[in-house]
A = this chain, B = another copy of it.
Amino acid sequence: MTPETKQTSEEIITTELIIKKAVEVICGKWRMIIIHLLREKVLRYGEIKRGVPGISEKVLVHELKQLVELGMVEKESFGEVPPRVEYRLTDKGRTILPVIDLLREVGRAFI
């Protein structure tokens, strides 16, 4: 990234902004779990719900909405009854998969 070892105070400020934004994007009790679930499969709403036991419907819906807003997840509704809605990770969403993998590695020490 930055080839220089010394950072100007401007760069430090930007670095802090980026880190804070990234933390904001990553955090939430269930968000990483949902993304981890979507890692390899396109899933319907109900499948995600069953795959994340313990999450409330309200929070799941809210999280999915935010993930779509952030451009990390794509939502596709088929106009069927009963409804069928699929969620899939976007390329942008996939950029944080390495973060999840790293979290799995370092997280062990804190359990």
Contacts and interface: CB of A to CB of B under 8 A. Distances in A.
Given A16-B33, A22-B107, 8 more contacts: A16-B36, A18-B108, A19-B33, A20-B32, A22-B104, A22-B110, A99-B102, A99-B106
A81 interface: no
A29 B22 contact: no
Contact of A19 (B15, B22, B32): B32
Interface string A68-97: 001000000000000000000000100110
27 contacts: A1-B104, A15-B36, A16-B33, A17-B111, A18-B104, A18-B107, A18-B111, A19-B33, A19-B103, A19-B104, A20-B29, A20-B32, A21-B110, A21-B111, A22-B104, A22-B107, A23-B28, A23-B29, A23-B31, A25-B110, A26-B26, A26-B27, A70-B110, A98-B106, A99-B99, A99-B102, A99-B103
Interface in A49-72: 70
